[in-house]
Structure 1
Amino acid sequence: MPNPYRITLSEMLKKQGRSFEDMVSAVMFGDENATALCEEQCEVEPDGTCA
């Protein structure tokens, strides 16, 4: 059964109002954690799980 809360990367970027490059730079070189590809957009923990 597919996860009903899952969204695409394009949808997540549109909700956040930024480009893929901006998001990658913030995660790789800034202080941000990656957000999960779900409606709740919680941060992904270092172990790869979402609360």
Structure 2
Amino acid sequence: TSDDAGTTVSGGSNPRPNAVSPPNKLPPPAVAPSEETEPAPEASMNMEDM
């Protein structure tokens, strides 16, 4: 997200639409499934192992 913010701030007019489409479609899907699928299984396995 910091890379996107820096690029959008440098641009000015183009960064607005670009920052709303890419970040809204890429970050949400990649962060939601990744965090829910990785931490969920890991926590379950750890608890069961113990």
What TM-score, normalized by structure 1, do the two folds share?
Answer: 0.26
Larger RCO (CA under 8 A, 6+ residues apart): 1
| Max Rg structure | 2
- TM-score, normalised to structure 2, is 0.26
